[in-house]
Amino acid sequence: MPPTLRTTDLRREFGSITALDGVDLSLGDGEILGVAGPNGSGKTTLIRCLLGLLRPTAGEATVDGTPTEALAAADRRHIGYMPQARAIYDDLTVRENVAFFASLYGVGDDAVDRALSFVDLADRASARIGELSGGMVRRTSLACALVHDPEILFLDEPTVGLDPKLRASMWDGFRQRRNDGALVVVSTHYLGEVSRCDRVLFLREGRVLALDSPEGFLDRTDTRDLEMAFLALLENAPPARGESSPAGGEESR
């Protein structure tokens, strides 16, 4: 059974800036959770707290009841992470990069071969990263994140800057991982992408605007696509931090 991942009243501050404000979340069965929202909504901060890379200011994030920042090395072997920023080495080949991450987790050449095949880069395994297109670099990063067959896979803006065909191909891979039983958490600001998720967490300025299935969002907002649904949810949401509520039929100043 996949690990249970929870957040309880999760809050993270950076000085005077509140990046996450009371996020409650529960994930268990293998699924794809899309974390969506505009830039600055807290998507990356949430993922880094779920990974244990950031300690919450208040509340907690746990895996099977253990705070994520206290997870032992053996527990972290079940987690994969593809950051938004490049985290591979330009002077190594595709295969050497994936093999390096495989060695960190104690898996061998067979796992490297499977990861390269999964991202359709077996024929470019000997190419150096500096010779590749941006899409191939992103696919190499994905191979590094999943080479050890993690039960939880965090992907932070994995398809940013990719053409529509390559984005669709990568999402096919994410669904395959879900079908194999993994819990996949994907952040994106492409609202059209989150229709491919099982559930979607909409964030606004670090707060949970809504959490539902794509179909549930369309039904509750009576809209045709998730971008329209997000806008409808915004219209009915309480004012964001720093915004004034309308008063007397006119906008407060």
What is the pLDDT, as a whole number, of residue 240?
Answer: 62
Q: Does some domain include residue 248?
A: no
Distance CA 139, CA 141 (A): 5
Within this chain, do residues 155 and 225 fall inside the same structural domain, yes or no? yes
| 8 A C-beta contact, residue 10 and residue 49 | yes
The bridge status of strand 66-67 relative to strand 58-63 is antiparallel
Q: How confident is the model at residue 235 (pLDDT cuts 50, 70, 90)?
A: confident
Q: Do residue 177 and residue 226 come from a single domain?
A: yes
Q: Phi/psi at 71 (nearest 5 deg)?
A: -65, 140
Residue 30: predicted pLDDT: 85
Can you tell me the distance from the alpha carbon of 54 to that of 12, in angstroms, rounded to the nearest whole number?
A: 8
Same domain membership, residue 239 and residue 184: yes
What is the per-residue pLDDT across 114-146, written as a single tens digit (0 to 9) for each? 999 999 999 999 999 999 998 999 999 999 999
- Determine the average pLDDT of the residues in 212-234: 91
In a domain, 103, yes or no: yes
Flag whether pLDDT at 244 surpasses 60. Answer: no
Mean pLDDT of 12-19: 96
Give the whole-angstrom CA distance, residue 8 versus residue 45. 15
Residues 72 and 180 placed together within one structural domain of the fold: yes
Domain that holds residue 124: 86-149
Label residue 160 by pLDDT band (50, 70, 90): confident
Q: For residues 155 and 233, state if they share a domain.
A: yes
d(CA 230, CA 209): 9
Band of pLDDT at residue 1, cut at 50, 70 and 90: low
Phi/psi of residue 126, nearest 5 degrees: -90, 0
Residue 249, in any domain of the structure? no
Same domain, 111 and 218: no
**Summary mean pLDDT of the chain:** 89
Q: Which amino acid is at 185?
A: V
On whether both 96 and 50 belong to a single domain, the answer is no
pLDDT at 242 over 60: no
